[in-house]
Amino acid sequence: MAAEYVVVALGPVDADTVTPVLGERVTFVTDPTPDDLAVAEGAIVRADRHVDADLLARMPRLRVIARTGVGVDLVDVTAASARGIPVVVTPNAGSRAVAEGVFAMALHLTKRLNPLTELVREGRWAERVGLPIGDLDGATMGIVGYGRIGRRVGELAAVFGMRTLAYDPFSPPPSDVACADLDELVAAGDVLTLHTPLTEGTRHLVDEHLLARVKPGAILVNCGRGGLLDLDATLAALETGRLSGVGLDVFDPEPALYHPLFDHPNVVLTPHLMGMTRRAMTLTFVDAARGVADVLAGRPPAAVADPDYHLRKATA
């Protein structure tokens, strides 16, 4: 059967994974030329690639954009929607991997793995009693943003014997875990983890005023969006002991620009990779390809960035 559609990759995409999902009617181009863009009806887009009005203008036949992940900061969703192009997202693929990343950081900081490694490496065994290590069992996990990832963090917290509290500025969590406000959550949480979307209202949600109300000795983990956190205020909270550890997988901007916080011994850093495990990336590519295939076949995609897309389609 001859191919009917051209789908292009914008950024590195595993062709062996997506080609079987797209089907025989699709030619998948991993390194598109301007001519490929001009005839492409679908695009699978990595998180660090811009899709702006200029690029859209160079893709006049485009019918669907599939973003690997959920963040669409670099995609002009408004311009795409104006042309009737759905921006497919893949919210389920990396949720479990990110939640595991939260616990990797929380355990690393609670169990003091960096300084304890240095004791052994430098032959300072006798000093080990001066570095008390903490417990997750019996501690309280404070989750800011109770969507797919936040809920998965809560599930893992229960396995560790933790109490879970949650606050979500957009959708109230269930009553058994809900906090009335953010102040209540940060005052009670031994580990605080951020998973709310970045909006004008949530930028620098964690600032010096909020950190002043944090439970002394708390650990703060951000695997959500870099802009949720004021790094200057976070460093000050570490230096005063208000925070005992910080784990960051996300930054603003990315790639991360150096900040003195990065040098603090009770900080662990990863380059926005906690949701990009081998299994999660395979699932993300599959979900993105499935979204493209659905739109090209006239089926509604499972998840889109524009909440009004399905309504417009239904009334078209």
Determine which one of 67, 225, 242, 290 is catalytic.
225
In the annotation, is 195 catalytic? Answer: no
Whether 184 is catalytic is no
Residue of 108, 254, 259, 264 marked active site: 254
Q: Is 254 an active-site residue?
A: yes
Asked if residue 243 lies in contact with residue 220, where contact means CB atoms within 8 angstroms, the answer is: yes
- The residue annotated as part of the active site, out of 67, 151, 195, 272, is 272
Tokens of 214: 């944090």
Task: Give just the sign of the alpha carbon dihedral 242, 246, 252, 255.
Answer: positive
Bin 112: left if φ > 0, else alpha if -120 < ψ < 50, else beta: left
What amino acid positions are annotated as catalytic residues?
Answer: 225, 254, 272
